[in-house]
Structure 1
Amino acid sequence: MTTKNWIRGSLFGTSAAVSLLALISISTAQDGSPTGAITTRTHTFTPIRDDIYHVVGTGTVNVMSHAMLIEGEHDLLVVDSHVTPNAGMALLDAIKSVSDKPVRYLVNTHYHFDHAHGNQVFPQDVEIIGHPYTRQKLSGELGNVLEESTFLSFTESVPDQIENMRAELAQTSDPARTEELRARISMQQAHYESSQEIVPTPPNITVDDKMTIYQTVDGGGREIQIVHLGRGHTGGDVVVFLPDERLVYTGDLMVPGIPYMGDAYLNEWPDALERLKTLDFDTILPGHGPVVQGKDRIDDLQAYMRDLWQRTAELKAQGLSFEEAATAIDLTGHSNNYAQLREPGADPRAIRRIYQLLDEQAE
């Protein structure tokens, strides 16, 4: 599978894929949880517990990731701000349909563009919380995130996508397809224009290991833990854990599919997931994909990652380039859990990253 196909097939590769996953999330999140999802033009807020919402885009705006809203008696806490200023503003506007209370806190689960590039549109008095590594990345201390391959690999292709859709629009005579293409072109054009206006905005409060917020609610206080479990998807992932509600928002540290690994620490990520399992929860809200019940899917992801690391190391030792290894690697034994593994191959960006880590270990 080529890099292009892995981008298309990844959990946050295209707006169409995100929209499909959004619909899955909406239906599954309601099992055993409060009823009454609130849907705006741009977002659906599905109650997972009382006053706690899994926030998923409807597909009218390219948001590219999920969010979470926690409503207290006096104010709100939001987790992740989406992919662009336009998407972040859409989130803030949609929140007004749920509550007229002010946002007090915004938590960035990590620095990646699809979770943190809406930061700049949040009001100045909002406290943005994240790991020190997230602050370093978004402040520019470690380089310009807008020039990194992760950001560019998901944005540089957008103009071509728009042109391809316009070409198809000129040829199609199907009314339904015409309407769909026009909507997608409009959405992607707005997304691309907004991506040119991004000003990376770092957290102003950092969490090295753990921070606890006690949010005032009717009848007492809600405990909200912001926890760093170790390096994994990036060098500074945090999860948002609500112990009384037995609920954790994991960002991209734990997702139900194969996550993007281009900036990951694959040699450490399974250990971070092992620490995640020590938290007492029964519901996972991921940054992409459907809500997950229980911890079995964590085991699946750990097994895949360990196998990916070991087999990549073996191929590197045989002298294969990372491109050759990405084509040759056989992880079909995990296809029962991950459908895209029914044939050999892996995301070249993940294999390249593992090669980098192996080289660092050898120094």
Structure 2
Amino acid sequence: MSVLYLLSSLGVINGLLIGAFLVFRNQNKVANAYLGGLLLALSLRIGKSVFYYFEDNVDLLILQIGLSACTFIGPFFYLYTKAIYKQHRKIHTRNTVLLIILLASILTIGSVYPYRNHPAIWNGYIIYGIYYIWAVFTLLGLYNAVKMLKPVILKPSTMSKPQQHLAMLTIAMLIINLTYQMALYGLFTYIWGALIFSFTLYFLLGRMLLSSKFFSPKPTDQPLANASKKLEELNVLMDTQKPYINQKLKLDNLAVQAGLSKHSLSKLLNEEYRHGFAQYVKEFRVKEAKQLIHTRNELSLEGIGYEAGFSSKSSFFDAFKKITNSTPSEYRKSHQLVA
């Protein structure tokens, strides 16, 4: 029992420390901030389980805090996967509103019906409502994760490091959620959720340490297997999901969506496509701009450039001129004449 207590407690403490670090010291990375919130919520909930499992007389306020934290586990997991999938660069207002509504709701309920005075209400309607929110948002997060992992889900050996971490976190979230949902009906003990959380946390930390440059093998110069097929698949992804409309799209982001490592994608675009990442993205943005010129007459040319993913008017006009041998205004005029 002492070993279980040690493992569970260390997982909770480290989860709180890492979560706080990600929230308060990594504000420029939206996904990391949501991951920090997820770790904080999980740590508080699991800390409650550890106390409840190993201590005989637990203050009911601790139970209330732990159960309240459950409200945010599913939403933070959903927002984390959404931020990665949509490549969010800032925290959107609607996501902040969602978290504020959840916080205001659980604080109001906790003030009106404190656990110390109303344990029956908490163990009835409130806990079922909290677990329902947890389950629904976990499924929404799973939907985002599956969309990102779909290209490699049947080929785990081809997963990049970020994809491996996302897959591991998603599996852990599902198992923890199922464990607690089933424990609610007496089918499991809550301590399993604490142990799964601890093992997952340490596994991911170990993977991150081992993936440092010191331990990583140097990339080889061998030709990329099935390069033409991979480029075709990448072209389909660009046409269907349009990641290029994100003005801050980077090689790393596209590699995650394509199910390739950063090195493999760079090699593919330099050797098979032959013009590199920047030119590849510009061509799709210009293609999108031409389509918008045909279909969105209400937009200005500058607006069309932004809609297509260009970050400035000058970069849009320069790329359009080089690729089509005409300016956007000349292209629009010629199209209007034909129409």
TM class by smaller structure: under 0.3
More helix by share: 2
More strand by share: 1
Q: TM-score, normalised to structure 2's length?
A: 0.25
Q: TM-score, normalised to structure 1's length?
A: 0.24
Larger C-alpha radius of gyration, 1 or 2? 2
